[in-house]
Amino acid sequence: MIFDLLRNGVTADDFLWILLTFPVVLISLVIHELAHGWMAKKLGDPTAEYMGRLTFNPLSHLDPMGTVSMLLFGIGWAKPVPIDPRYFKNPKKGMALVGLAGPVSNLIIAFTASLLRRATIAIYAYALPPSAINPTSLKAFSIIYAFFYIFEILNISLAVFNLIPVPPFDGSRVFYFLLPDKYYFGVMRYERQIMMITMVLLFTGILDYPLDLIRGGIMNLFDFIFGLVPYL
């Protein structure tokens, strides 16, 4: 993300990219956390609502370090939404659904952004009258296209990153739900060690390649789906 731009030198277009990234990060992280709280409430847990987390106010959700990391590197986090599994009829299943809600919300946003990005091209290519096609309109549509593209790639990254099946990521809740009970406590015994190893792998870049493959696979899936629609 921004770190790559700064490392290679910032042009005027790069600066515009940075400006567009800020609102995308704010909106994406807020919706991610809001989805956790919304799902918990649907399953009977009012804790997030009582703690003021069912809001679009970014100040209630953003973690300073996680937000900066998201801006610089394209991976980040927000303040965890407080969840009390005692309210769930099935605590293990409830935690899995709450954990899954965040990444799913980001994939929905990414899919929508991908659609709007393609619609931007289609409108410019097919809907504008010839008199409206000029350098000014091209620049305006390019900015709109870039905005939706950032929305798409950043939300795919956020979803993939959070689906890593180890704590503290959302994917761990899904993994624990799928894990047979006879292995559950054995894995939980080494939870801290697994988490530390995963963080080392992330920050040394060892996991970059498999995560990039997954991100690329999702974008290819979007390309396939929208390739079935004329003019998109």
Per-residue pLDDT in tens (0 to 9) along the chain, 232 residues: 555 555 555 566 667 777 888 889 889 989 999 999 999 999 999 999 998 889 888 888 877 877 777 666 666 677 888 999 999 999 989 999 999 999 999 999 999 999 999 999 999 888 888 888 888 888 889 999 999 999 999 999 999 989 988 887 898 888 888 888 777 666 767 777 777 888 787 778 888 889 999 999 999 999 999 988 887 7
21 burial (CB, 10 Å; 0-12 / 13-18 / 19+) is: buried
DSSP code, position 168? T
CA gap 226, 115 in Å, rounded: 7
CA gap 207, 99 in Å, rounded: 21
Q: Are 209 and 199 in contact (CB under 8 A)?
A: no
Q: Are 161 and 75 in contact (CB under 8 A)?
A: yes
What predicted TM-score, i.e. pTM, was given to this entire model? 0.85
Domain range spanning residue 130?
2-227
Q: Which of 33, 49, 152, 191 is catalytic?
A: 33
Assigned domain for 205 exists: yes
Cα angle 96, 35, 75; round to 5: 85
CA gap 171, 149 in Å, rounded: 25
Assigned domain for 87 exists: yes
How many folded domains does the chain comprise? Answer: 1
Assigned domain for 80 exists: yes
* Furthest C-alpha separation in the chain: 69
CB hemisphere CA count around 206 (13 angstroms): 7
Assigned domain for 94 exists: yes
Sole residue written with tokens 């790069």? 14
Measuring CA to CA, which residue among 16, 11, 4 is closest to residue 145? Answer: 16
Assigned domain for 118 exists: yes
CA gap 11, 196 in Å, rounded: 37
DSSP code, position 78? B
Provide the residue type at 135 as one letter.
Answer: P
The pLDDT value recorded for residue 11 is 64
The pLDDT value recorded for residue 64 is 81
> Catalytic annotation on 49?
no
Assigned domain for 112 exists: yes
Assigned domain for 232 exists: no
